[in-house]
Amino acid sequence: MQRGVVLACALPCCDVRGNNLTGMIPDNIGNCTSFEILGISYNQITGEIPYNIGFLQVATLSLQGNMLTGTIPEVIGLMQALAVLDLSENELVGPIPQILGNLLYTGKFVHVNRLNGTLPSGLKHLQSLTYLNLSSNHFRGSIPFELGHIINLDTLDLSSNNFSGSVPASVGDLEHLLTL
């Protein structure tokens, strides 16, 4: 994969989803500043998400369905052009970085990983977020009342985690919520 990505750096879109590509995401992926879309979902990519992926100016970062390990790099929280973040169906661990609350996603997917800890209260800042899928992880503690402040949310999937307590009343105030 490494040589192919280096050769494709001048393109606006790198979409190689649904193949059997192997290897790791190249450390120099952040140099591909022309990318608007990086889609490498459903391959056999291994290793950690490199830090410099945060230097990309992509609107869509889709790494779903690989074998990525490690934690979600905090630098992703600085990707101001990002509209869709899909890190689902990997082997990612650790908490969701608080800084991800700084982004204005339209879709955020981190389901089917091994993420844990409590949900960051900073998620309330994701006012443009419409779809949030955190299912099939190892999150624990209470469902934060701040989720009820994501006013445009139409889908919230928290299934198959270790949450305790009750669903906050603020979630019931979400006018656009269609699926819980």
* Separation CA 134–CA 162 (nearest Å): 12
pLDDT of residue 11: 82
Top mean-pLDDT range of 107-111, 120-124, 162-166:
162-166
* C-beta of residue 175 within 8 angstroms of C-beta of residue 151: yes
Q: What is the mean pLDDT of the chain?
A: 88
* C-beta of residue 60 within 8 angstroms of C-beta of residue 39: yes
Average pLDDT rounded to a whole number, residues 113-138: 87
* Separation CA 85–CA 108 (nearest Å): 5
Q: Domain spanning 13-173 has what CATH number?
A: 3.80.10.10
All residues at 6 or more sequence positions from 28 whose CB lies less than 8 Å from its CB, including other chains:
6, 52
* C-beta of residue 7 within 8 angstroms of C-beta of residue 28: no
pLDDT of residue 76: 92
Average pLDDT rounded to a whole number, residues 153-176: 92
> Where along the chain do its domains lie?
13-173
**Reported pTM:** 0.86
Each residue of 45-87: pLDDT tens digit? 999 999 999 999 999 999 999 999 999 999 998 888 888 899 9
